[in-house]
Amino acid sequence: MERVIGTDELKSGDRKTVYVDDIPALVIRIQDEYFVIEDVCSHDGQPLTNGPIQDCSIVCPRHAARFDLRSGKALCMPATEAIRVFKTEIRDGAVWAGR
């Protein structure tokens, strides 16, 4: 696992682009939970970077596919495949992520 961001760097609802094992990823904070997902839509390969957050999901800004932040599961069409979700751990005031 690698350190990706300090826990004090994001407020609830914020996100930050990072790299995990050289893979573009997003760290998303919802209240006191942190999620780290690969920053790519499984439907068309485009970034999810600016997608709206709804409950505990992210919506692709291009075609409105929606993904669960906990599991990566595709929640609606046009996506049928999950996105990668990295294992996360909070320790020493930081978010750590890895495969």
**Per-residue pLDDT for the chain (99 aa), expressed as one digit of tens each?**
999 999 999 999 999 999 999 999 999 999 999 999 999 999 999 999 999 999 899 999 999 999 999 999 999 999 999 999 999 999 999 999 998
Number of domains in the chain: 1
Residue 5 C-alpha from the chain's centroid: 13
Q: What is the CATH number of the domain that holds 80?
A: 2.102.10.10
pLDDT of residue 99: 86
Bridge-based pairing state of the strands 2-6 and 87-91: unpaired
Q: Which domain holds residue 20?
A: 2-98
Nearest to 48 by CA among 21, 30, 9, 74: 74
pLDDT of residue 98: 95
Strands of the sheet with 87-91, listed across from one edge: 2-6, 94-98, 87-91
Residue 30 contacts residue 19 (beta carbons within 8 Å): no
- Whole-model pTM? 0.95
Give one DSSP letter per residue of the chain, joined into a string: -EEEEEGGG--TT-EEEEEETTEEEEEEEETTEEEEEESS-TTT----TTPPEETTEEE-TTT--EEETTT--B-STT--SPPPB-EEEEETTEEEEE-
pLDDT of residue 15: 97
